[in-house]
């Protein structure tokens, strides 16, 4: 009877060990996949691979696909609750002052698909908005009023962000560098 009990105990331990081994392998593969995805996001042009191994690769298309899949899985809030959009091309017209712009109408449309990261009321009762668009374009809007979006809202190209009086200030940053509106990719 003791032999039967020993065999049962060994079988239980073997099952536990198999499950543990399978979970260890799955966790290991997931951590490798996560590491590769992080590298592909940080080094889209694969400069490390080009410089050290002579491998020509470009991860921008892969990153767009991964972003689209993750956005569909983990959507914060979409900005579709009664917010109007522009159907034609979005163009900011330069004012006489540096970094000041105006648009057709009195509302500012978004340049592309993006996420609103900041909506802040300033001391002069105006608002500041910070929106990150695709292609790592970050735009800060100043001297605007009546924001139609909230923090972490997702916007589509042409969705109205807010209103402005005569002109608004906009600063553009892409790939870590301040750029002019005409340099947007």
In the numeric block, which tokens belong to residue 94?
């330069």
pLDDT digits (tens, 9 = 90+) for 49-106: 788 888 888 888 887 888 777 776 665 555 544 455 555 567 788 877 788 888 888 8
pLDDT digits (tens, 9 = 90+) for 92-126: 888 777 888 888 888 999 988 999 999 999 999 99
- pLDDT at site 75: 58
Hey, where are the domains in the chain? 2-73, 77-183
Question: Can you name the CATH fold of 77-183?
Answer: Glucose Permease (Domain IIA) (2.70.70)
- pLDDT at site 85: 52
């Amino acid at each position: 009877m003791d032999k039967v009990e020993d065999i049962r105990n060994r079988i239980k331990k073997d099952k536990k060990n198999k499950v543990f081994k399978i979970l260890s392998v799955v966790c290991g593969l997931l951590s490798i996949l996560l590491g590769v995805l992080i590298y592909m996001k940080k080094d889209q042009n694969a400069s490390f691979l080009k410089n050290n191994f002579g491998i020509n690769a470009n991860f921008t298309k892969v990153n767009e696909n991964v972003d689209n899949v993750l956005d569909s899985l983990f959507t914060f809030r979409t900005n579709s609750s009664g917010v109007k959009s522009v159907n034609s091309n979005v163009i900011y017209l330069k004012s006489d002052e540096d970094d000041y712009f105006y648009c057709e109408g009195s509302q500012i449309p978004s340049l592309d698909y993006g996420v609103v990261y900041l909506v802040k009321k300033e001391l002069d009762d105006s608002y500041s908005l910070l929106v990150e668009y695709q292609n790592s374009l970050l735009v800060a809007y100043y001297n605007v009023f009546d924001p139609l979006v909230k923090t972490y809202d997702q916007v589509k190209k042409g969705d109205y962000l807010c209103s402005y009086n005569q002109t608004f200030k906009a600063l553009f940053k892409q790939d870590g560098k301040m750029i002019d509106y005409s340099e947007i990719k």
